[in-house]
Amino acid sequence: MKTYTQQAQEEYVSFPVTDLTLGPQAGVERIKSVSSWGHNGQVSEQQFPAFDLRGNVFVVTGAAGGIGLTMAEALTEAGATVYCLDRAQTPHKDFFEAKDRVKPQYGGSLHYQQVNVTDTDSLNAVISSIADKHRRLDGAIAAAAIQQVTPALDYKPSDVSRMLDVNYTGVYMTATAAARVMMKYKCHGSICLVASMSGLVANKGLLSSVYNSSKAAVIQLARNLAMEWGRPRPDGSGGIRVNALSPGHTLTPMVRENLRVDPDLLPLWEKENFLGRIADPEEFKGAAVFLLSRASSFMTGNNLVIDGGHTAW
């Protein structure tokens, strides 16, 4: 007896593929469309081919160091050409160390370009020039963020604006700049917005109401952009997935500064999750490759929380 999948595969091959935006009557065409995202029953000679990013081009903001750089390096290890964008004129030494770790056999490369995500015109120009150079852009990671630890009653309007300009508007404009050229070159790719566990909970011992609020906004932004850009359009554009990534407490330069100011935060945060420790940036490499590759081809509008179980209490 034939399985449903076997029967469906035999049936659709004799039908022409039509506009996939049609209604329920296009069921057979939809079956073929679904099959095209998978392996079509073929056994690959390569291990985990869905994670292969060779030939792909990405931009990562906030990538002079920290989680942004770690995620950029992960994409390079999977074979991609990756441009690290940050406001620093020259990147942190961590960037050069990551660049030195890139092996020729990876097939990828790591580059750095200076741009401030709050300068929308420059951001658009840089991302557009990268896409024009390669005639493609397969996705982006928006990881640029700043933090200010201040009691809510002491926040000035200028402090709030400065934080939101980077943490929300900068992320928003990074996503739209990337999507614009992805649609231009008809690249059905993926965009990852780096949010935070702090967008879901209030962090014990950390008075950062604006930071937390900005990260909550990023999580909601991912849902809305995913809805707007997800469906393929008649001209071949669209088909862009958008997800948020929410790390838990992680030993980034930002967190190192928090711990320098208040060493008691470390034991407090360590006991707040199931693993009894905070994360290392390296632990987000897998998530980066998953979210930006075909391995997550049916995931969009979601928030991937990697927090050691902190928010599961």
- The residue ranges of every structural domain in the chain are 52-245+282-307
The mean pLDDT of 89-98, rounded to a whole number, is 92
Cα 42 to Cα 40: distance, rounded to the nearest angstrom: 5
Q: What is the pTM of this model?
A: 0.87
- Residues 6 or more apart whose CB falls under 8 angstroms from that of 19 comprise 26, 29, 234
Secondary structure letter of residue 20 according to DSSP: T
| Orientation angle between helical segments 285-292 and 66-77, nearest 10 degrees | 60
Which residues belong to the active site? 211, 215
3-state secondary structure of 125: helix
Specify whether the backbone of 206 is left (phi greater than 0), alpha (psi in -120 to 50) or beta: beta
Q: What is the pLDDT of residue 42?
A: 59
Query: Which pLDDT tens digit goes with each residue over 8-35?
Result: 344 333 333 334 334 444 454 554 555 4
* Residue appearing with tokens 């990551």: 98
Whether residue 59 contacts residue 189, with contact meaning beta carbons closer than 8 Å, is answered with no
User: 40 falls in which pLDDT band (50, 70, 90)?
Assistant: low
Kindly report the number of other CB atoms within 10 A of residue 280's CB atom: 11
Q: In this model, does residue 226 exceed pLDDT 70? A: yes
Q: Which residues are within 8 A (CB) of 3 and not within 5 positions of it... i.e. 6 or more apart? A: none
Give me the architecture of the 52-245+282-307 domain, per CATH: 3-Layer(aba) Sandwich (3.40)
Place of tokens 């985990």: 48
